[in-house]
Amino acid sequence: MKISGTQPLLVAVDFSAGSDEAFEWAVELANAFDAPLHVLHVAHDPEDEPGSYASRDGEEIQPIEVVARDRLAAFLESQHDSLAALTKVRSDVVVGLPATRILEVAARDDAQAIVMGAQGRTALADRLLGSKAERVAQRSPIPVLLIKSHGRESVR
């Protein structure tokens, strides 16, 4: 894979430990190759309350996009020092099925690669439950870098 300084690297974040590590890799790659970085969060409707997420305090239910945008903004603010060296960073929240929307955004933005976390489940669990990362990697026409979490707990 040859990384250029003109096309963006797309990093998908879901606020888990795995996506934190993927984000770190993406920032390093973007910095090393002076490539634009596009940080994407796909808000996926939970089955029990479609169209809404609980707010951070857990008391108020808000529209899914509002909470997702707030969470992404807070995440990016917490990563300010990491992002300071980059000159081209953009972020986006879209709603839908994660694998599908990640591929759509990558195509729309002419991304040169997708970076995302992998949960590191067993092959049997992936076959039974499916894996967003696996689906993206199988269907993507561009390189996908899957970063396996080192066993840290989820931050969700």
In a domain, 51, yes or no: yes
The CA distances from residue 32 to 3, 50, 59, 86, 103, in Å, are: 10, 40, 42, 10, 24
Count structural domains, the chain: 1
Range in 9-18, 91-100, 129-138 with the lowest mean pLDDT: 129-138
On whether residue 4 sits in a domain, the answer given is no
The stretch 4-16 carries a mean pLDDT of: 90
At residue 47, the pLDDT reads 60
CATH of residue 90's domain is 3.40.50.620
The 10s digit of each residue's pLDDT in 134-152 is 899 999 999 999 998 765 4
- Asked whether residue 112 is domain-assigned, the answer is yes
In a domain, 95, yes or no: yes
DSSP 128: H
pTM flag (> 0.85) = no
Does residue 1 sit within a domain?
A: no
As beta bridge partners, residue 92 has 40
Q: What is the 3-state secondary structure (H, E, C) of 54-112?
A: ECCCCCCEEEHHHHHHHHHHHHHHHCHHHHCCCCCEEEEEEECCHHHHHHHHHHHCCCC
Domain that holds residue 124: 9-148
Rounded to 10°, the helix 98-108/132-139 angle is 40
